[in-house]
Structure 1
Amino acid sequence: MPAAPTLTLAFSDIAPHVRYVQHITLDPAISGQPKKLYDHRLTYICGGAGEIHIEDRVYICQKGDLFYWGPDIRYAIHRNAENPLTVMNIHFDFTQSHRTKRFMPPAPFLPQFQADRITEKVELTDAPLFNRPFYLPACFQMERPFLQMAEEYRLQKLFSGPALNGMLLSLLASLYRLLAHQGEAGPRHRELADEIMDYIHANLDKPLTNQSVAARFSFHPNYLNRLFVRHTATPLHRYILNTKADKAMEMLHSTALPVTEIARTLGFCDISHFSRFFKERYGVSPSSLRAGQLTGKQSD
């Protein structure tokens, strides 16, 4: 039996049906083999460590990450035995066509997948970003609505079904606004990464951290770090240390300042920390480099 045809809808036509909501810790013993869903799923990462593979993309999960994918999409979740993932899942349809199917069969491994069990496939004409899987990092503002839906589903109060459907519609609208803003913000984010680098170079005398830089630019540290990595391929903390190490190398060659004074000038109170990251970058400690310079001058 073939799968149901794709429904073409506008966002205003959506009348979602929440099938169930989970707030669970994933069993690390369960295999990470690829599967496919029969309905639609939103997943919010509450904590833990692991990876989510969706089609050919791999995402390293962190708290606050949010994912969406629909039926017939290949995915796999790889758990970490020492720090299992805790997630909230919302399984749903965009329409009420299959509201009598409260529970779907568990997502099967690929050889057991049956396309005729798919509840629906939807194409949204005015919200095309919902027509493919998406990932929103550091989406902490969505934790509360997920928790509210998980609690509503758990309690099963009077009219819980319609209440959940209304909550999901509001959540979908909020998510689409975030997605649209993310798409529009691409060039601005490139400019922001450049501004962050300029700020770091202009403030090497300060004890810069991800938290202090994020506060300066009014972003959450995790979100700012991911944005920075996306545009520089270097974690923010590593960029700060590398830039300070490069400046220290320049000062060792161009000044006669003691190593302790160079460390202080670059915002370090702990000389051992300064020496450790300098040696990590250049393969030699700053004191050894300075001693070699002095020996060379004496032999001249």
Structure 2
Amino acid sequence: MKNIGTVLIAVIGLLIVTSLSAFTVDQREYALVFRLGEIVSVKKEPGLYFKMPFVDNVRYFDRRILTLNWQEPDRFITSEKKNVLVDSFVKWRIIDPAKYYVSVKGDELQAERRLSQTVNDGLRAEFGKRTIHEVVSGERGKIMEILRQRADRDSRQMGIQVLDVRLKRVDLPQEVSESVYQRMNAERKGVANKLRSDGAADAEKIRADADKQREVIIAEAYREAQRIKGEGDAKASETYAQAYGKNPEFYAFYRSLDAYRNSFKSKSDVLVLEPNSDFFKYMRSPGKK
């Protein structure tokens, strides 16, 4: 029984020592093994590892891609001395956990502060060399690539790799936006007024041309009507002359009948003539040739 107790104690002690000396590394993290405050081993691959119990301790660091995202947009000045608000973010990860620990004591907040300062310095330098149009649309992609390369080069000293720097939004400050809006509104109104004045001038020109064409058409129509009327009168005169030449007495009689018909068309018509007037010639002797 004494031997069995000794074996059990030994087994339990061995399990305790094993549990204190064994540790695992996940595929999402790095592990640093410290011995009396000094780094003695770096574990970058996942698996089961061992350390000296009561002497060594292990710290884990995230090896996944992390995001540095600012809460509020920062203000920068362009080459035109105009302020812009820039909202950006950075994608980064730890590639050298030992250097990362030595540089920032493994503090993620401290690492992000240093990374933020590097990116902001780059933004200030790049925006100071460009106009608003260039930073908004013209060279936006070029700026992001320059910032990524610069931030990655500086961050390698901390054991960090910068994968991407993105400008989410580049806006004008509220007071500048208002002045720009007012200027654009004034310019649009000026263009609208010019278009209205040009339209009114064109309308007057079209009306004047239409009135001119109307007068020309009326004059030509009146001239054509007078010509046709003259031709008709000439034709009528010619017909009357021919009729008179064939039988003057009948022509005179026919014309007298027309005169009687037109004179006595209405009962209210009044005609005062002498009885022996030529007007009553055919009334006095209708059978006379």
Range of TM-score over shorter length: under 0.3
Give 1 or 2: higher helix fraction.
Answer: 2
Please report the TM-score for the alignment, with normalisation by the length of structure 2: 0.26
